[in-house]
Amino acid sequence: MSWAETFRIAAEALLGRRMRSLLTMLGILIGIAAVMLTVGLGEGARLEITREINRLGSNLLIVMPGSTSGSSPLAGATSLTMDDARTLADPSVAPDIAGVAPMMSTRANVQHDAERTTTTVTGTTTDWESVRSRNLVDGRFFTASEYASSEQVVVLGPSTAAALFGDTPPVGGAVVVNGQAFTVVGVLEAVGANALSNDDDLVVLPMTTMAQRLAPPATARTLSAIYVAATDDASISAAHQQISRALVVNHGTTSADQDFSIMTFQALMTAMNTMTGVLTTLLGGLAGISLVVGGIGVMNIMLVSVSERVREIGLRKALGATPALIRRQFLVEAGILGLLGGALGVALGLVGAAILTPALGIEVAVSLPATLLALAVSLTIGLVAGVYPASRAAKLAPIDALRSE
C-alpha cells in the first residue's frame, strides 16, 4: 500500500466521524493557542521593555537620594547637591561619564489663560537635553545665558502643551507656574510614559530659576536626582563605580552606609526580562497541560477507533497487510488529528494576538519559527498519542479479528 493510499484511507476514516474528530482535536487546538498567546505576550513584553530602555538610553544611570539598604542609618536622607553633580562632571574624577544632568523636581499647578493642569516641574541644566536624549518639535531649549541669569523661561512636554494651548502654537506664549509667569521657548518631542514617569507631561526650566522662585527655601539646595550618561554601553559598570567612589568621598560615608543609590536601566531591563521569562515559563507550562490532555484525548479516540474497526483490520491482514502497514495507518490518522488540531490552534492564536494587541496595549509577538514549532509539537503529540493504539491494532491476529464479529 502506498503512502497516498494510506492518507486517503485515513482522511475517509476521520471524515466519516467528523464531530468526534473535531472534539478530539479540541484539546490540542486550545493548548496550542494558549501556549502561542502566552509565549507571545511574554516576548512582546520583553520587546517593549527593550524598546523602552533603548528610548530612555541604555547608557543612562540615575543617582537617587537615600540608600536602598535598610541597614543604612542615612537611608531616605536627602543627600544630593549641585556639588555632587559638579564632581561627577569632572573628567579627572569620572572619565567614563559623558554628561551629567542634575534635577530638582516638584508637582505644581501650571496655567495658560483659562486652561490649567497639575504636572511635574523639573529644574535642570542645559545638559539635560543631551543626557536624556530628548529632541524638540518646536522652539529651542533654554540657553546657558538664560540658566546663568535665572531667566523665567520653560520648555513644555507635548502632553502639557496640548493640555494648556490646544491647537495654538505654544512657543512665545506665557504660562503661570505656582503664581510665577514664564515664557515658553520650546516643546519637546513625544516619547511616551515609562515605569518611572510620564516624560510627555512635564515642564522643564533652568534650575537656577526654580531654586529662586519655585522651590521652598529648605529644598533649594538639594536635588531630586542626578541623571548621568556613560560614554557608551560598555562603560556603564566603570561609570557606576566612579559615581559610587566620588559620592562616598563627597558625603564622608563608606560604601556600607552610603546615603544614595544608583540605578542603571540595563540592570532594570535584566531584572524585568528575568521576571517576564519566569512568568512566561510558568504560564506556558500551565497552558501546556491542555496539550497533554489533548494527547490523551487523541489516544483515547484512537483506541476506540481500533475497537470499532477490528473486522476491517482482520480483513486487511487476511488480504496480506503486514503489521507495519496497519501500524502506519493508525499512526497517520493520529498524526493528522494532531496536525489539524495544531493548525486550528495556530489560527486561533493569530486571531487572539490580533485582538489582544490593541486591547492590552502590548504587542503579542507571534513569529514564524514559533508558529512552525507549534505545528511540529502538535504533530508530535498526535503521533506519540497514536503509538499505543497503532501497536495494539498491528498485534491483532487475523483470525481473532474476524472472529470478534
Name the residue with higher pLDDT: 313 or 210.
210
pLDDT in tens, 277-303: 777 777 777 767 777 888 888 888 888
Q: Determine the Cα–Cα distance for residues 386 and 303; give it in Å rounded to an integer.
A: 9
Please calculate the CA angle 338-342-347 and round it to the nearest 5 degrees: 155
Residue (of 142, 138, 119) closest to 189 by Cα position: 138
- Looking at residue 303, what is its pLDDT? 82
> Which tens digit of pLDDT belongs to each residue from 182-200?
999 999 999 876 555 678 9
Q: Is the dihedral of CA 367, 194, 114, 103 positive or negative?
A: negative
Q: How many residues does the chain have?
A: 405
Strands 225-230 and 60-65: antiparallel
Contact 136, 170 (CB under 8 A): no
- Percentage of the residues of the chain whose pLDDT score is greater than 70: 88
Distance CA 194, CA 45 (A): 13
Categorize the per-residue pLDDT at 47 as very low, low, confident or very high, splitting at 50, 70 and 90.
confident
> What pLDDT is recorded for position 191?
84
Indicate whether 72 pLDDT > 60: no
DSSP result, 157-212: -HHHHHHHHTTS--TT-EEEETTEEEEEEEEEPP--B-SS-BTTSEEEEEHHHHHH
| Helices 323-360 and 265-308, packing angle to 10 deg | 140
pLDDT in tens, 91-110: 999 999 999 999 999 899 99
Residue range 197-216: mean pLDDT, rounded = 88
Between 223 and 393, the more confident residue is: 223
Q: Where are the domains of the chain?
A: 3-52+270-403, 67-258
What does the block give as the cell for 92? 579627572
Average pLDDT, the chain: 83
**Per the structure block, which three cell numbers stand in for 126?**
542645559
> What residues are paired with 261 via a beta bridge?
64
Provide the pLDDT for residue 75. 43
Angle, vertex CA 291, rays to CA 346 and CA 331, nearest 5: 90
One-letter amino acid for residue 240 of the chain: H
pLDDT tens track for 343-370? 998 999 899 888 988 887 778 888 788 7
Distance CA 189, CA 187 (A): 7
Quote the CA–CA distance of 192 and 205 in Å, as a whole number: 20
Highest mean pLDDT (candidates 62-76, 174-188, 212-226): 174-188
Q: Cell numbers at residue 257, please?
A: 552606609
**Lowest mean pLDDT: which of 207-216, 265-274, 276-285, 334-343?**
265-274
**If you ran DSSP here, which 8-state letter would residue 255 be given?**
T
**Quick one: pLDDT at residue 196?**
57
Stated pTM of the model: 0.61
Q: How far apart are the first and last CA of the chain?
A: 25
In the chain, the percentage of residues whose pLDDT exceeds 90 is 31
**Residue in the block written with cell 496550542:** 32
DSSP element (H, E) containing 123: strand 115-124
Burial class (CB in 10 A: 0-12, 13-18, 19+), 173: middle
Check residues 237 and 126 and name the one with the higher pLDDT: 126
43, 273 contact by CB (below 8 A): no
- Given a contact cutoff of 8 angstroms between Cβ atoms, the answer to whether 105 and 197 are in contact is no
pLDDT tens by residue, 125-166: 999 999 988 999 999 999 999 999 999 999 999 999 999 999
- Cα distances from 302 to residues 64, 140, 308, in angstroms, run 64, 73, 10
DSSP 124: E
Q: Cβ atoms within 10 A of the Cβ of 21, count?
A: 21
- Report yes or no: 64 and 219 within 8 Å, Cβ to Cβ: no
Dump strand ranges (E) for 231-309.
260-264
Residue 24 C-alpha cell reads as 478530539
The pLDDT of residue 76: 44
